[in-house]
Structure 1
């Protein structure tokens, strides 16, 4: 297996490839090192808005032209925005890589962002926010992020708010595009049937310096502090209560991040995990429960979720907190071994998919994280010991927690949730 190959063009654009000789397809991604954390209050939601409007047309292609170009060759194209990155990607046959590159590059270089397109897409984005607000098991995690990360751009919802999107002017959005879609913020990544030198040539020819040279990456500062023992109750007349206990986590470069990954699997990452076995299988308190870890360049967050009947909230929350406390002191070697096996299997199985491999290398290069090859990752996982996981569990889950609740509760019911934050 070849290691990923990286080139940095004179313009500042980075190119990284992960060849897979046995396949006939390729997944191409163009990563922009800009996300919601890089927006000013007046720009809130602009990065995600641009993810939409770049598909609306360029100087030489209409929105229909963009859609038909890849449909005509059986390709797929999409995009997503996160708190630190925006990615436009396409999956095509190897012979159609130049076409996919031309279409994506055209969007990044010459998007029109016309007032008419902005107004048409504004309603789409507002509908997306409405869906988020109407999805309690999604909304509760946004609330937890704001509690844990506090007064920091990382805490804010990537979609923006109804108020911010309604008030965004076309010039604000287009100026954000011109200021951030610059060569020093761009990473081109591809995995599958791809030749590195060919991709470098395409990048040089079709992206160049995007006609906007001389910029600099966004200046970012880490959170000044984290929330502690904070509670948010969001009333919704739902049939199920949604609860998330959260803690500060680890950033993307932390030495203990491998032990945290193992801990996350053992705690709430599968059917054999602590939370699933105790809350669902033994006590029958819920259908869904899990844990997760979100890592950013300079911050992190850990969450433990459970959805339960409103009448079972007190018992369920007590059990959830009990499991989080217990895992700090009594993780077994068998649990750690199972978690490491699950991580190893998931990592290797991901090698069979060009999309996951493109995302792996693209995200690492775009965020400035040194590339960790698959072999290196497997070695890091194998090296994690039970003592490592126990130490990380005690350190992180021993911190003061925050709690987000979405369900049929009033704000004046805060006292009933206080024991979980004690």
Structure 2
């Protein structure tokens, strides 16, 4: 394959041979359901995902937490299967099944032997199309979700991460916690979640991706059969839901500093700013920047903060991209007494890249790290399935390994320096959990501190 391949919503059929002789095919049914597959030579298993392009950012005020709530409820039973039946379907063949809710999509997925793929299609299709959202199960699962949120709230790094995204993204819907909060879950009603389900789980929203040992024609036939059995009219004229606008969101920083005071042994500190949207041409430069700054044991953060100074055990950088916005951040877990100096060191490393750039050797290592990690990840059919889903839902183009490596090779030292300089000029946010002095970070962020 040469170059990226566009995925037009109006194109009914598409076929291409990707790197490693993988056969990628795509079918758009008349009612708007999109089906993509990647047949990988030598595979004996397959991973399948049913995606809906709705996430926590899409929830109305009265339905906060509904997307995550619904993810749980779809495992609780349909007219033909109860929760135990669904679990047994996969356990009895040694398969794995789960779901993930994000800020922009929800995915229900399973990994099975290739001979069990038709079963996985049938069961997940039944869950997605015919969930009962039983009132009794609804109240039972409410408590399960509250326990899940409580577990996350007991993890200082999870709390700091949530507060960091809220601080960077402010009132924008992307800043909201994916799982909602206890107040929203307690207030959620079955009617609100049911309305969310009926409004967003339709043919035009549905994307199905499979990778591994998969025959595309058989997959399409199985999907057709399963959806028609659920009463969907696949012959009805329709079109896929339009992809999200790539016009950059107007982000207003929520807080410069957010401290959650807790008597923990370590301070968990996040510092960063807005990043790049999913289709930004600089996203490959961002991958290189992230690798150099905090992407591994040879990264600047790891070497300076852990190896040379012994100030932290865990320290890294990261990026998150969405259709119209993004986040770039750095994290360290360290002694509360050292939290300020560690934060200063993290900011110093980003500033140094913006000022002086990266070395030719760092650029070479970053390319090698990213190339190797990408190739190794694609040994797993889960990664290939997810890549298809994100390509279809988010950016609207398929990029295979060869094209990914070609784009990485085009990143220059100047590209990385300019991106670091851009990020360093944006409003800064710091979020931390621990027994910290509320005012100690004020000067770093240039404003007053919010404490909780």
Structure 1 counterpart of 2:443, from 395, 419, 422 = 419
Which residue pairs with 1:227 in the alignment?
A: 253
Which residue pairs with 2:178 in the alignment?
A: 158
Which residue pairs with 1:377 in the alignment?
A: 404
Paired with 1:319 and 1:4, the residues of 2 have a C-alpha distance of 45
Paired with 1:115 and 1:392, the residues of 2 have a C-alpha distance of 51
Q: Pick which of 362-371 and 106-115 moved more.
A: 362-371
Which residue pairs with 1:176 in the alignment?
A: 196
**1:57 and 1:66 in contact (8 A); partners too:** yes
Which residue pairs with 2:232 in the alignment?
A: 211
Which residue pairs with 1:125 in the alignment?
A: 145
**2:57 and 2:103 in contact (8 A); partners too:** yes
1:401 aligns with 2:425: no
Q: Pick which of 383-392 and 365-374 moved more.
A: 365-374
Which residue pairs with 2:111 in the alignment?
A: 91
Structure 2 counterpart of 1:351, from 357, 371, 378 = 378
Which residue pairs with 1:329 in the alignment?
A: 355
Q: Pick which of 339-348 and 381-390 moved more.
A: 381-390
Moved over 3 A (4+): 208-223
Q: CA deviation at 1:226?
A: 3.1
Taking structure 2 as the reference length, the TM-score comes to 0.89
Paired with 2:280 and 2:206, the residues of 1 have a C-alpha distance of 24
Paired with 1:367 and 1:55, the residues of 2 have a C-alpha distance of 26
Which residue pairs with 2:315 in the alignment?
A: 289
Q: Extract unaligned runs of 5+ from structure 1.
A: none
Aligned CA distance change for structure 1 residues 171 and 62 (closer, same or farther; 3 Å): same
**1:79 and 1:89 in contact (8 A); partners too:** yes
Q: CA deviation at 1:372?
A: 1.1
Which residue pairs with 1:146 in the alignment?
A: 166
User: C-alpha offsets along residues 258-284 of structure 1, whole Å, 9 cap, x if unaligned?
Assistant: 000110011001000010000000011
**1:228 and 1:401 in contact (8 A); partners too:** no
Q: Pick which of 148-157 and 226-235 moved more.
A: 226-235
Aligned CA distance change for structure 1 residues 394 and 3 (closer, same or farther; 3 Å): farther
**1:186 and 1:366 in contact (8 A); partners too:** no
**1:149 and 1:223 in contact (8 A); partners too:** no
Q: CA RMSD in A?
A: 1.8
3-state SS of 1:56 partner: coil
Paired with 1:34 and 1:210, the residues of 2 have a C-alpha distance of 22
Which residue pairs with 1:365 in the alignment?
A: 392
1:43 aligns with 2:63: yes
Paired with 2:244 and 2:104, the residues of 1 have a C-alpha distance of 12
Aligned CA distance change for structure 1 residues 118 and 370 (closer, same or farther; 3 Å): same
Which residue pairs with 2:12 in the alignment?
A: none
Paired with 1:318 and 1:265, the residues of 2 have a C-alpha distance of 19
3-state SS of 1:352 partner: coil
3-state SS of 1:327 partner: helix
**1:34 and 1:218 in contact (8 A); partners too:** no
1:310 aligns with 2:342: no
**2:170 and 2:254 in contact (8 A); partners too:** no
Q: Extract unaligned runs of 5+ from structure 2.
A: 1-20, 447-452
1:192 aligns with 2:212: yes
Paired with 1:211 and 1:176, the residues of 2 have a C-alpha distance of 18
Structure 2 counterpart of 1:113, from 133, 136, 143 = 133
Which residue pairs with 2:16 in the alignment?
A: none
Structure 2 counterpart of 1:201, from 221, 228, 253 = 221
User: C-alpha offsets along residues 11-34 of structure 1, whole Å, 9 cap, x if unaligned?
Assistant: 101111111120110101111111
Q: Pick which of 225-234 and 168-177 moved more.
A: 225-234
Paired with 1:218 and 1:109, the residues of 2 have a C-alpha distance of 22
3-state SS of 1:116 partner: helix
1:7 aligns with 2:27: yes
Alignment coverage as a number of residue pairs: 419
